[in-house]
Amino acid sequence: MGVIPGHIKDEVVILGNHRDGRVLGATDPTSGTVSVHETIRGFGALLRKGWKPLRTIVFASWDGEEYGLIGSTEWGEDFADWINKHVVAYVNIDSSTSGSHLGASASPLLAHLLRQTAEEIPHPTSEGRTLWDARHDTGTLFGENLDPEVASMHQEELLAIDSIGVNALGSGSDYTVFLQYIGVPSTNGGFSSTLHDPVYHYHSVFDSQRWQEMYGDPGFYRHVAIAKHIGLQVLRLSGSIVLPFNTTHYSYELESYLDSVEAIASDASFDVDLSPLRNSIHHLQSVSFKLDTEKEGAERNLKKVLKKLKKQYARHRRFRRKLHEIICKVKTIFHKGEQCDSDGFHQREVKLANGKTITYSGGRIHDWAKEHEDSRGEEVVNNRHHHLGHRPPRALVKAIKRVQAVNKKLITFERGFISKEGIKDREWYKHLAVAPGKWLGYGATTFPGLTEALTFDRNTTTAVHEANRLKVVIDNIAETIRA
């Protein structure tokens, strides 16, 4: 694991990828690992330029993924309390590319972020298009002998997306423990093969570097595009004043999940009253609209306060510089031969205990010097430039607390779907809104307890019980995020 400490230490964004493969693993996971390494290299370049994220960033390389998500799951279970308290989002990349079609999956909280970042990145192989447009790419190999059933199944997969083109997350990669067990909003994506791409032999000896270079991604352009995509997601998550979580989109997705359940009940002629659950979802939508207004107001207010403080500081600095220039001239007149550096008034030298000297400008010591002192225990001496004081203005404190309150509500939204009892017959999965389907393998099932009570158990009593469980958690979420 690697860490970039942020200004906010108790809010963490994790970018993760597994490093173990079934056999050669040129696509799964090496293509994803390559993209993560390129992303880290990009963050290293930013750090060398003096950049520092607002939130702490953690890079994770998981082992044992192919044998049941062992590495990420054990780490998640061991540190569940810490993750629940500090981790705001998890960005996952498994395989960067095995074909031409861009797949995107996420918690509805992050669906807009996933799409917006993809729309800002150029298409890897086609000019004038964006990375997001690659969702419609289908390959170049067309023939006559295409099995209709296979084509139909493939089309169903492409249609299983939400209103903005992002799939729900089931399981099959390292985001599972974060989303399904703890309730951390997560994303996952990458290029996959279509019916008209060179055949990708998943989890086989043919997943070789030779195949990747010749057929999977000649020139490695898609690898680079995915590196940019996950990097931009992490930048936005770690650098946004207000977390880029869309609770309103999530609340409307919940209603679409309920629509699907009611269609199942209607087709099977089950008499189940789901109107109380729908009313709770409508209430959540209403509360979420108000939170959207508060999000915008809190961020706008903080920026306004910071802009005002910047102007005050600039006026203060210009006044002191002018005063110092006058004093310098007076000294020069009355004390001939004395040198007075008016340009260097705001230049300060800080001597560290190890003898090193740092020169910085302005009234506050450079962040690097502070971190240098904190991390190595070196005492900063000879620093007497205190004209700005140490206590932040009251308006700034108030504005920051307002933003913190909003972010806390946003963080608790996904956590609110976690139930200690878990989902019937597979209690480890604790997210009541989405889970891997009971018999779908990796595929996601929305409202899993309620859906499977009708499709598998065919029991209306169980269905009513599951609907009540959902109603309780949704009502609790609405109360928690009330602005």
Catalytic residue numbers read 65
Q: What is the pairing mode between strands 380-381 and 347-352?
A: antiparallel
**Cα(245)–Cα(292) distance, integer angstroms:** 10
129: its two tokens:
């298009």
111: its two tokens:
């669906």
Strands (E), 366-438: 380-381, 434-436
Q: Which residue has the tokens 């139909």?
A: 152
**Cα(124)–Cα(32) distance, integer angstroms:** 16
65: its two tokens:
């993924």
Q: What is the pairing mode between strands 347-352 and 357-361?
A: antiparallel
Residue 117: burial class (beta carbons within 10 Å; 0-12, 13-18, 19+): buried
CB 90 within 8 A of CB 186: yes
Nearest by Cα to 95 from 217, 181, 235: 217
227: its two tokens:
């590196």
Secondary structure letter of residue 26 according to DSSP: I
**Cα(460)–Cα(265) distance, integer angstroms:** 9
Q: Which residue has the tokens 């977390």?
A: 243
Intra-chain end-to-end CA distance of the chain, in Å: 37
Q: Return the exposure string of 431-447: e unless at least 16 CB atoms fall within 10 Å of the residue's CB, then b.
A: bbbbbbbbeeeeebbbb
* Backbone torsions φ then ψ of 247, nearest 5 degrees: -70, -30
**Cα(247)–Cα(94) distance, integer angstroms:** 26
CB 34 within 8 A of CB 111: no
**Cα(374)–Cα(380) distance, integer angstroms:** 10
Please compute Rg for the chain using Cα positions: 27
Secondary structure letter of residue 11 according to DSSP: E
CB 169 within 8 A of CB 107: yes
Q: Return the exposure string of 282-313: e unless at least 16 CB atoms fall within 10 Å of the residue's CB, then b.
A: eebbebbeebeebbeebbebbeebeeeeeeee
Residue type, 223: H
